């Protein structure tokens, strides 16, 4: 791996985004608008917003980065730029590292913006706010690495977009956000235990409640571990030689 | 290259090709669309899974890590980022190839795109896109240049200049392999490889092919060789 090539890739990805201001605006504005919607939806029951708010801070960047990365990577595959890059000395780690760096920056901007809005204007209460923002960024990177991996299984952008409801929506439904997991059917709990977002949700929830014991750190380790695993598996799908 | 056989989509597209490309000259890989030119070039740059046979480039197996900075490859479809400007594209590939940033201006001159630096690639014409793609392959002055149809959509004046550039690079010791499906480019090559249906029909200098077939026109020479091959097969 090379620092120069990783940095160049990150700069390139950010330049691509800069030429697409509408995407940047959507990435930054949509989570804020959704958060305001959730706040207004439960305006009569503020305790609901208090329990949803912090997990949502992490889930929004997770979803956004999953979609953006899977589409960007698919584009890299279909336009031939990936094939070209893989005939050059670039290491696959440089490419993925560059993507990770660029999208983590975007995710940080996104997470910070929604956090300022939620904690500042919408009256969301939580301990460990800085740690919550960091965890939200970790969630974004998790979404990115899963999106990268998923993109290997899409041949067209239509398919890649469908991966959002296929891969991401079940995780949102089952992570505990909508129904506490101990109230779900046993087999649903078992399925939820296999999904990375479940651990991301738990970590955020525990952090918001000030529960930073061993269970919290286990959740964090699972989130980071799955991120690395998906990146390694994703790297395996970037083949220098293709049929 | 010895006995190169490639299977794509369940079909054998290259049937045991043996060939050698000499350094310091411009070799032309000619043949109709679908004859296997791109597959052959992908095998040389190490991007193609091969069924059997061996490809050796600069004494190393094709695609081996030391070759990645010594072999420049221009794909047939322009493989650059449409949502970046011309100079951003080249700056990125220069960083990847560890070429100096001074080379960016130099390659822009070569492909005649000075003045287009800040233009977004998606607003360029097809021919201009192909030239940015070519420029990226020239950045690190590789020892071997594999160019897949680099002159498609290029106006006659620039086409002449590009061929002059290829010969200049070859004179400086670069091995240049250029593919084309247009026979009127054959005369610009020092050495010709005629490919048809995944087999090497003939190779030699343009003059040798003329003498062998008794045709003045290389297009006609190609047809004569096809007829001869088919007569031999039946």
Q: Hey, are the CB atoms on A5 and B95 less than 8 Å from each other?
A: yes
Largest Cα–Cα separation, chain B: 58
Q: Hey, are the CB atoms on A89 and B83 less than 8 Å from each other?
A: no
Mean pLDDT of the residues in chain A: 91
- What is the secondary structure of B115-163 as a DSSP string? T-TTSBGGGS-HHHHHHHHHHHHHTT--SEEEEESTTTT--HHHHHHHH
Structure tokens at A136: 């939200």
- Residue of chain A whose alpha carbon sits nearest to that of B42: A241
Mean pLDDT of the residues in chain B: 91
Average pLDDT over every residue of B20-37: 91
Residue with tokens 């904690």: A119
Distance in angstroms (rounded) separating the CA atoms of residues B223 and B96: 43
- B97-109 confidence digits (pLDDT tens): 999 989 999 999 9
Chain A residues touching residue B45 (CB < 8 angstroms): 87
- Residue of chain A whose alpha carbon sits nearest to that of B13: A243
Average pLDDT over every residue of A196-218: 92
Chain B residues contacting A via beta carbons under 8 Å: 8-9, 45-49, 63, 65, 68-69, 71, 73, 75, 77-85, 88, 91-93, 95-98, 120, 136
Chain A residues touching residue B65 (CB < 8 angstroms): 89
Categorize the per-residue pLDDT at B30 as very low, low, confident or very high, splitting at 50, 70 and 90.
Answer: very high
Categorize the per-residue pLDDT at A123 as very low, low, confident or very high, splitting at 50, 70 and 90.
Answer: very high
| Predicted pLDDT of residue B119 | 95
Interchain CB contact of A81 with B (< 8 Å): yes
Task: Closest CB to A242: pick one of B9, B49, B71.
Answer: B49
Sorted by where each starts, the structural domains of chain B and their CATH numbers stand as 2-70+144-233 (3.40.50.300), 78-141 (no CATH)
Average pLDDT over every residue of B59-80: 91
Q: In what order do the strands lie in the sheet with B71-74?
A: B71-74, B144-148, B175-180, B26-30, B191-196, B199-204
CA distances from B16 to A182, A230, B57, B87 (A): 63, 39, 17, 41
b vs e for A107-129, b when ≥16 Cβ sit within 10 Å of the residue's Cβ? Answer: bbebbebbbebbbeebebebebb
Task: Closest CB to A240: pick one of B9, B63, B78.
Answer: B63
| Predicted pLDDT of residue B57 | 92
- Residue of chain A whose alpha carbon sits nearest to that of B88: A12
> Reduced to 3 states, what is the DSSP secondary structure of residue B8?
strand
Average pLDDT over every residue of B71-95: 94
Average pLDDT over every residue of B183-198: 90
Q: Hey, are the CB atoms on B46 and A87 less than 8 Å from each other?
A: yes
| Predicted pLDDT of residue B76 | 87
Categorize the per-residue pLDDT at A84 as very low, low, confident or very high, splitting at 50, 70 and 90.
Answer: very high
Distance in angstroms (rounded) separating the CA atoms of residues B148 and B32: 13
> Reduced to 3 states, what is the DSSP secondary structure of residue B33?
coil
Helix, strand counts (H, E) of chain B: 7, 11
Distance in angstroms (rounded) separating the CA atoms of residues B180 and A10: 36
CA distances from A2 to A8, A56, A103, B37, B114 (A): 10, 36, 19, 33, 31
- Is residue A34 predicted with pLDDT exceeding 90? yes
Distance in angstroms (rounded) separating the CA atoms of residues B99 and B141: 8
- Is residue B183 predicted with pLDDT exceeding 90? no
| Predicted pLDDT of residue A157 | 85
Chain A residues touching residue B84 (CB < 8 angstroms): 12, 15-16, 19
Q: The complex's ipTM?
A: 0.88
Helix axes A21-41, A46-78, angle to 10 degrees: 160
- Is residue A73 predicted with pLDDT exceeding 70? yes
| Predicted pLDDT of residue B234 | 65
A121: number of CA atoms within 13 Å, CB side?
11
- Is residue B2 predicted with pLDDT exceeding 90? no
- Residue of chain B whose alpha carbon sits nearest to that of A11: B92
Categorize the per-residue pLDDT at A237 as very low, low, confident or very high, splitting at 50, 70 and 90.
Answer: confident
What letter would DSSP give residue A183? G
Q: A56-60, A118-122, A150-154, B16-20 — which is least confidently predicted?
A: A150-154
- Is residue B233 predicted with pLDDT exceeding 80? no
Average pLDDT over every residue of A210-227: 93
Average pLDDT over every residue of B177-187: 87
- Is residue B157 predicted with pLDDT exceeding 70? yes
């Amino acid at each position: 791996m090379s620092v120069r090539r990783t940095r160049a890739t990150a700069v390139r990805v950010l330049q691509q985004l800069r030429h697409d201001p509408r995407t940047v605006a959507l990435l930054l504005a949509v989570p804020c608008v959704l958060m305001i919607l959730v706040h207004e939806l439960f305006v009569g029951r503020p305790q609901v917003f208090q329990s949803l708010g912090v997990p949502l801070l992490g889930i929004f960047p997770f979803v956004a980065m999953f979609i953006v990365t899977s589409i960007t990577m698919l584009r890299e595959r279909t336009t031939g730029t990936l094939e070209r890059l893989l005939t050059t000395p670039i290491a696959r780690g440089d490419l993925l590292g560059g993507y990770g760096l660029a999208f983590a920056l975007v995710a940080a901007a996104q997470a910070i913006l929604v956090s300022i809005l939620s904690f500042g204007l919408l009256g969301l209460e939580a301990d460990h706010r800085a740690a919550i923002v960091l965890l939200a960024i970790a969630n974004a990177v998790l979404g990115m690495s899963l999106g990268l991996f998923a993109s290997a299984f899409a041949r067209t952008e239509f398919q890649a977009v469908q991966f959002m409801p296929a891969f991401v929506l079940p995780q949102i439904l089952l992570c505990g956000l909508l129904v506490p997991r101990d109230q779900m059917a046993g087999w649903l709990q078992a399925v939820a235990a296999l999904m990375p977002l479940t651990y991301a949700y738990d970590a955020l929830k525990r952090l918001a409640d000030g529960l930073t014991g061993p269970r919290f750190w286990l959740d964090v380790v699972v989130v980071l571990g799955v991120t690395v695993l998906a990146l390694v598996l994703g790297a395996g799908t970037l083949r220098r030689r293709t049929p | 290259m010895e006995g190169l056989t490639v299977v794509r989509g369940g079909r054998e597209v290259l049937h045991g090709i043996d060939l050698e490309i000499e350094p310091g000259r411009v070799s032309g890989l000619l043949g109709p669309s679908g004859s296997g030119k791109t597959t052959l070039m992908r095998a040389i740059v190490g991007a193609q899974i091969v069924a059997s046979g061996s490809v050796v480039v600069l004494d190393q197996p094709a695609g081996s890590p030391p070759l990645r900075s010594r072999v420049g490859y221009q794909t047939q479809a322009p493989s650059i980022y449409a949502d970046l400007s011309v100079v951003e594209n080249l700056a990125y590939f220069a960083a990847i190839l560890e070429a100096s940033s001074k080379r960016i201006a130099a390659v822009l001159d070569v492909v005649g795109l000075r003045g287009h630096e800040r233009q977004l690639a998606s607003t360029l014409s097809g021919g201009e896109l192909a030239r940015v793609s070519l420029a990226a392959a020239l950045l690190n002055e590789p020892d071997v240049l594999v160019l897949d149809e680099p002159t498609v959509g290029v106006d006659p004046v620039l086409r002449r200049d590009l061929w002059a550039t290829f010969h200049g690079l070859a004179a400086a010791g670069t091995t240049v392999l250029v593919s084309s499906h247009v026979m009127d480019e054959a005369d610009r090559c020092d050495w010709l490889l005629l490919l048809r249906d995944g087999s090497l029909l003939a190779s030699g200098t343009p003059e040798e092919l003329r003498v062998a077939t008794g045709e003045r026109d290389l297009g006609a020479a190609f047809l004569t060789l096809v007829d001869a091959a088919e007569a031999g097969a039946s």
